[in-house]
Amino acid sequence: MAENKVLYKDGDLSYCILTQDYKNEAHEILAEIFCDMPACQTRLECNSKLTRKIVKEFWFQYIGCDMYDFITEGLSVIALDTKNNEIAGIMATRHLLTCAEYKARYPKHEYEGAILVDLCAILDEEATKKMPELTEPNKTVEMAFLGVHSEYRGKNIANNLVRLSLPVIKAAGYTYASLIATSYFSSRVSEKNGFTSIHEIDVRSLLWKGGKTLQNMKEPHGHYKYWVKKL
C-alpha cells in the first residue's frame, strides 16, 4: 500500500484518499462495477445485441474523462483490502461541473447506454434550477461515482465511503456535497448520511429513441434522485 493517511480501518479494509498509485485500478474497477448498475442490467437483459464488453468500454471511456480530477483534487476515497492489496470500493468525487463543462467534457455516444448519462445531465440541470447556489464557484462537489466490488458487498462499504468523504470535502472548503443516486441502495446510503433529495425522475416511464428503454427495471429501483447535503 502506498503511503497515505488512513481515514478509517475496518478489519482488512483501510479507507484512504485515492492517489495516483491506484488510479488505473480504480478506473478499471469503476467501469466493471457500473456494468452491474440496475439500468445497465435492464438493458443487457432486454437487448440481445448489447454485451457486457460494450457496456464496460462505454463506462471506461466516460469515467476516464474525470480521472484526472479524481486524483488531483484529493476528494475521492477508496476502501482498500490490505490483505489482498486490491480496491474493494470507491467514492469518486470532484468539483461540480457547470452545464457547459459537462457538455464539453464527455464524448457523444450512439450506444444506447448514453441515456444514463443524459438522465444524469437532466437531473443536474433541474436540481440546480431549484438550488442555484449549488453552481456558485467553489461551493459544491459532485460525489460522482459510488461503487463497491461485487465480492465485497454486504460489508457496509458504500455507507463508510460516503460517511468518510464528507469531512474530507468540508475540510477542502466546500459548502455542499451532491450525489446522483441511480439505484435504491445509493439513495438509502444518501438518506442515511443526512442528504436531502431535491429532484427525482422515474426513469421507467421515459421515452428514448421512441421507446421506454428502462420500463423493465426491477423494483426497488427505477427512480434516479439528486441528493444534496449542506456541510
Q: How far is CA 109 from CA 30, 54, 106, in A?
A: 19, 12, 9
Are 178 and 150 contacting, i.e. CB atoms less than 8 angstroms apart? no
Higher-pLDDT residue of 216 and 199 is 199
Higher pLDDT, 219 or 90: 90
Q: What is the pLDDT of residue 202?
A: 82
Q: What is the model's pLDDT at position 2?
A: 42
Return the percentage of the chain with pLDDT > 90, whole number: 60
Residues 182, 38: Cα–Cα separation, whole Å: 8
Quick check: 86 pLDDT over 80? yes
Domains and CATH numbers, the chain: 6-230 (3.40.630.30)
- pLDDT, residue 47, reads 75
Mean pLDDT of 108-128: 74
Residue 51's pLDDT band (boundaries 50, 70, 90)? confident
Region 26-45 average pLDDT? 85
Q: For the sheet with 13-17, list strands across it.
A: 6-10, 13-17, 77-81, 86-95, 140-148, 176-181, 223-230, 196-202
Looking at the predicted structure, is the pLDDT value of residue 204 above 60? Answer: yes
Q: Are 78 and 104 in contact (CB under 8 A)?
A: no
End-to-end CA distance of the chain: 30
Mean pLDDT computed over 88-116: 76
The amino acid at 57 = E
Confidence of residue 96 (pLDDT cuts 50, 70, 90): very high
> In this predicted structure, which of 29-33, 99-103, 165-169, 185-189 has the lowest mean pLDDT?
99-103
How does 53-92 read in b/e, with b if 16+ C-beta sit within 10 Å?
eebbebbbebbeebbebbbebebbbbbbbeeeeebbbbbb
